[in-house]
Amino acid sequence: MIQDSKDRVEEEEESGCDENRPSKISKTSHNNTNSEAMNGKVQRYLVAIEYIGTHFSGSQQQPIHRTVIGVLQDAFSKFIGQPISITSSSRTDAGVHALSNVCHVDIERISKRKPGEVLPPHEPDVVRRAVNHFLQRDSDVTIIDVRCVPSDFHARYKALERTYFYRLLSGPEPLSTFEKDRAWHVPEELNIRAMQEACRVLVGHHDFSSFRASGCQAKSPIRTLDELGVCEVIPSQYFPSVKDREQHNKVSDDLHGCSSNSETDIPLSSLASIDKVTTLSEDVGFGKRRSHRCLVVTARSRAFLYHQVRLLVGVLKAVGTGNLTISDVERILNAKDVTAASPMAPACGLYLGEVKYDLSS
């Protein structure tokens, strides 16, 4: 029942949809009001945060459920001593993580010794350290960066593009305790080359109706997917094996054995390679876990449709397991109907990786 409740209140993990952008008139009115409220003492900060989404009911504030923005607002309120409102760049579902989500907040620094006296704004690093102090009990969210921005800088509307990552762990072994709720465990072997070929079909400017959840209210299903790719990486919970340590020591010895003006090159074959890390068949010894193959799907665009990334990953996974062909992917894209797509990938493997801005000014 709790999980059903979470599902009903999930926000969009792939944000930036047009349906939530206010009309031109209301947006202008908001900016005017905001400008009037700003007086040289009120400072707008752009705040980058990371979080583990497992125990959050999404990022956007809700009346009852624990959310990222709700926890963040409480910490800011404790820091400045008054209620505060935070606006995020991208909304994420329950269970979705963020390596870097961004929000903005307006702070007026009031003296605690002399109530009513307005002081110069805090330095960004002071804000970061102070709010992180109040977030210590909520260890699943942390501020990683803070910057002062103009009063009309909007975390959502000024975003140039968003990058999402999706982690899949492939292999028959049970998922490690350290990886639970951090990736999608796929017991089958995944054909990465077939998945990469499917990405080439889906990348670019398309009608993505087949990759748009029924709850999406965007006016248009047309989106430009600037990047869609899949690659194999070292699993994040990786510690060097005996073979890796011996390899590293050999390379170190070779480097120390070369004089500073020697033209001798270290053979590439002596360097550690991530392709040799994963092993599913060899005997790793008692009490040691066999590694999973870790595949990461990267999706980059200015804006995404509701659940678009997770629906894309669902199709790519089906291609990787051989349940779908490249022709099937083309058929699903052209169907312009979400019922034609494969089941959506779970939230646990999705990470908001970056929200990009032009901060040159």
Q: Which residues are annotated as catalytic?
A: 93
CB 48 within 8 A of CB 146: yes
Q: Cα dihedral angle (156, 66, 63, 98), rounded to 10 degrees?
A: 10
What is each CA distance from 228 to 15, 195, 203, 265, 284, in whole angstroms? Answer: 17, 10, 6, 36, 35
Instruction: Give the SS3 label for residue 25.
Output: helix
Distance CA 55, CA 250 (A): 44
Distance CA 182, CA 185 (A): 9
Specify the residue for token string 């200015």: 302
Q: H helices within 177-297, ranges in order?
A: 192-202, 242-257
Specify the residue for token string 């990470």: 351
